Structure 1
Amino acid sequence: MEGICFLPTFLVIWSSSTFIVSYLIALFEHDVDVIFPYISEIGAKPPESCIFGLMTIITAFAGMATIYARYKFVEKLNEKAGVPPALNQAAFWIGMLSCLGICFVATFQETTIIQMHDAGAILFFVSGVLYTTLQSIISYKAYPYGCSLALCHTRTGMATIAFLAVSPTIICVLLHRTEDKDYVFHLVSAVSEWIVAFSFIFFFTYIHDFKRFTLKLRTEFVS
């Protein structure tokens, strides 16, 4: 665990565990179907909603820390690479918006205020996909100083999968609600939702980068 690579490691393992643990509890409580429930459904009823909310908030803060560390890494990398600072800043703030969306999802369950829950979910998914896309572009612009070309391709592949899955996630869930809960729309939207959620193992690719640097906090007294 060199550098600060524990950040993306913890983020990916914890976020994946959030979905899996909540799903298993919801199954045990007979609150969801076995086959492809919505992620929102696995965190809608207690006791799984309590676990889901707590673990998701921790995920959001871990995501913020990882996104900030990535931002500072690219900023330092720019002493050699040619990544436009505006691009790095845009990716940082969009990533933070995605984490804000996660907080909305965790706080407003589907069974309480569905409008706020949906708004948070859309903010999370759309901003998250846009963030991974921008980071893929940044990786190519920083090459060969940032990471290997193979890792650039890997990030692009993950971002592409998320991008292709996010549209049917949003469109089909809306159609599912308006078309008398058609099962086909439910299946497509639920599968796409899980694909987008697990495509964010994208952060696992940061381990290679985060081994190469550390962040230090400096305290200064102002007289």
Structure 2
Amino acid sequence: MTAWIVLPVSLSAFSITGIWIVYAMAVMNHHVCPVENWSYNVTCTEETAKKGSPKTCCTLQDIPLISKCGSFPPESCLFMVMVCMLRYAQVIEHSHRCRVNTSALVSGCVNALGLVMVGNFQVDHAKSLHYVGAGVAFPAGLLFVCLQCVLTYQVAVTALDYWMAHVRAALAAGALVSLVLSGIFFIHESFILQHAAAICEWVFTVDILVFYGTFTYEFGTVSNETMMAGLQRSHHHHRGSGVIIASGGRPVPLGGATKSLKSPGGNATSTHLNCNPESIGVL
């Protein structure tokens, strides 16, 4: 186990807690109506509800969208980028140098960049930029979790690994459904559908954050060499592909894994790796 397991846990725990605290503050300050409210009016007279209690008269402007309640802090986006980079390097360390892994890294960073825009350009003051950020962040976040599902199945070795892959597939499916429904409901002017869109948006956001938290499963095996694996991959990519010769005359691409790695789900050594480094000679 390493201290890196704290990173995805912190990202999920603090972000989920933070957005719900902001929601509660927005409700108590009459900035939005509570999610359990489904009754809306075209216009409202002066608010008569006491301070510290929810609004009693709600309009379309009071629907509890995340954008209306608050925004994600930039620190959460930094944690998100770190998780994406470590996950990328970890898959590289498992000898899976594929376009899926690179695409997952890019989509994760784009997701974080979109959230920075969402957080810094409030919907009431810079609506166009806010929606551009949301339009980038949400699809990129969905693409990231889908690609990570594929990678989880690819590197799975033990039964526990496959169980985690199934959990992530379920989370990704939930994120897909909630995001699609949120988009469909949001484009309608119906108060009920707008409110349903807000609920779907909250479900999608929490779902994605829980997905990031599942990386705790793999991050317990992260070592000091994990990030170096990603950096060395980039270095070898620029220098060109070399070849090393293993015992028996079998060529192995330069930069390939030369140590056996353990699956986080058990003691089985991954069959995707090249073992017995003592018998390898360099040509």
TM-score with structure 1 setting the length: 0.83
2:98 paired with 1:98 = no
Per the alignment, residue 198 of structure 2 pairs with: 190
Q: Which has the higher mean CA deviation after the structures are superposed, 161-170 or 149-158?
A: 161-170
Q: Does the CA-based 8 Å contact 2:35-2:199 persist in structure 1?
A: no
Partner of 1:39: 66
1:27 aligns with 2:27: yes
Aligned AA (1:73):
Q
In structure 2, distance between residues paired with 1:99 and 1:4? 19
Q: Is the 8 A contact 1:87 1:134 kept in 2?
A: yes
Cα pair 1:122 1:170 within 8 Å, conserved: no
1:141 aligned onto 2:119: no
| Structure 1 residues 139 and 22: alpha-carbon distance in aligned structure 2, compared to 1, 3 A threshold | same
One-letter amino acid matched to 2:215? Y
Partner in structure 2 of residue 221 of structure 1: none
Residues 117-155 of structure 1: per-residue CA shift (max 9 Å, x gap)? 111112111110110000001111111179611101000
Instruction: Find out whether 1:212 has 2:221 as its counterpart.
Output: yes
Q: Which amino acid letter does the alignment assign opposite residue 59 of structure 1?
A: S
The one-letter amino acid of 1:191's match is I
Match status 1:76 vs 2:93: yes
Residue of structure 1 aligned with 2:76, choices 56, 59, 83: 59
Equivalences for 1:86-165 in 2 at 5 Å?
Answer: 86-144=99-157, 148-165=161-178
d(CA) in 2 for partners of 1:197, 1:146: 29
User: How has the CA–CA distance of structure 1 residues 215 and 98 changed in structure 2, closer, same or farther, with 3 Å as cutoff?
Assistant: farther
Deviates more, 1:139-148 or 1:67-76: 139-148
Q: Distance in 2 between matches of 1:215 and 1:33?
A: 48
Q: Structure 1 regions of 5+ residues with no counterpart?
A: 44-51, 219-223
State the percentage of identical aligned residues.
23
- SS of 1:148 mapped into structure 2: helix
1:125 corresponds to which letter in structure 2?
F
Separation in 2, partners of 1:173, 1:118: 12
Is the 2:101–2:151 Cα contact (8 Å) retained in structure 1?
Answer: yes
- Which residue of 2 is the match for residue 199 of structure 1? 207
Shift of 1:158: 0.2
Match of 1:2 in 2: 2
Distance 2:203 2:193 in 1: 15
TM-fit CA distance, 1:116: 0.9
Matches of 2:6 and 2:224, distance apart in 1: 12
| Contiguous gaps of at least 5 residues in structure 2 | 37-63, 229-283
For residue 21 of structure 1, report the CA deviation from its aligned partner: 1.5
Task: Please identify the structure whose Cα radius of gyration is greater.
Answer: 2
Alpha-carbon distance, 1:113 to partner: 1.0
In the superposition, the TM-score normalised over structure 2's length comes to 0.66
Q: Calculate the aligned-residue CA RMSD, in Å.
A: 1.9
- Alpha-carbon deviation of 1:2? 2.4
**Structure-2 separation of matches of 1:3 and 1:138:** 23
- Higher RCO, Cα 8 Å, sep 6+: 1
CA distance in 1, matches of 2:205, 2:151: 22
